[in-house]
Amino acid sequence: MDFEKLVPVMRQLAIEAGEKILEIYNSDDFEVKSKSDDSPVTIADEAADALISAGLRAAFPDVPLITEEQSASHDLKATTFLIVDPLDGTKEFIKRRGDFTVNIAYVENGVPIRGVVFAPAKDRLFITDATGQSYEETGSFDPAVPGDMTKISVSEPDNGALMIVASKSHRDQATEDYINKYSVKDSKSAGSSLKFCLVATGEADLYPRVGRTMEWDTAAGHAVLSGAGGHVVRFDDHSPLVYGKEDYANPFFIAYAPGVELKKP
């Protein structure tokens, strides 16, 4: 993969999709439908998916592509691929809470190594550069012209006073029980893949996910966190979280800054 080509394409498509999503988000009303698994989907999901898919297929026709909205038609047996969640945090979008993102990632040999996470309603964009280092971009988010790039890195955590981030829509008793194993200074909630990015910037030390996620939910945030020096491991045995699983479903996992002393489940 030519990363000097890939990164600008991912960035441009994420911003263009974010603009389209915001048009619908800021409209008076939009239709909400249910998919076969009863999860919600809107015209924003579908429009962003069409835009990103067309752009990636045009630029990288030989690289397998997985997207959430087309996953039912995928029969992928690959460990290297592009993976997209065109609107991660649909529930946050529907409730107009702003914590939704556009996620685009490149997975190589089961590991997400490049990614972009764009939160258009929050004016936050996180991206890995061609070398794999992660940055936060600020500015006008012009699809054609990169703004100011600030290198990001994980915290040096104090295990006696950890900063925790957890899901806004899926924070349950199992999550609370696990968080209570740690000495916590502060705990915050966030939606979508922003939780990975808060660990990547050092705004949080630990993000445990004791609940269902899919690979397209996590790959871009995982890549951003890795590029900032963080790790993502399975909840059960603390082995690395890998991608290219047959059904795209993730086990429970923990995203963290390396200094965190992980607790057993």
Q: Where are the domains of the chain?
A: 3-151, 162-256
The runs of H, that is alpha helices, within 42-136 are: 43-59, 90-94
Residue in 235, 242, 97 with CA at minimum distance from that of residue 256: 235
- Is 261 annotated in a binding site? The answer is no
Q: Is 4 annotated as a binding residue?
A: no
- 195 phi and psi angles, rounded to 5 deg: -65, -40
| Ordered strands of the 184-190 beta sheet | 184-190, 162-167, 206-209, 253-256, 231-234
217 is in an annotated binding site: yes
pTM to 2 decimals? 0.95
Rg (CA), the chain: 17
Structure token pair of residue 224: 């951003």
Question: CA-CA distance, 70 to 11, in Å (whole number)?
Answer: 21
The domain 162-256 is placed in CATH, from the list 3.40.120.10, 3.90.700.10, 3.40.190.80, 3.40.630.40, at: 3.40.190.80
Measured CA to CA, the distance from residue 89 to residue 77 in angstroms comes to 27
206 labeled part of a ligand binding site: no
The tens place of each residue's pLDDT in the chain, 265 residues long, gives: 999 999 999 999 999 999 999 999 998 777 777 766 667 677 899 999 999 999 999 999 999 999 987 766 666 678 999 999 999 988 888 888 899 999 999 999 999 999 999 999 999 999 999 999 999 999 999 999 999 999 999 999 999 999 999 987 777 899 999 999 999 999 999 988 999 999 999 999 999 999 999 999 999 999 999 999 999 999 999 999 999 998 899 999 999 999 999 999 9
81-88 and 65-67 strand pairing: parallel
Q: For domain 3-151, give the CATH number.
A: 3.30.540.10
- The annotation status of 68 as a binding-site residue, yes or no, is yes
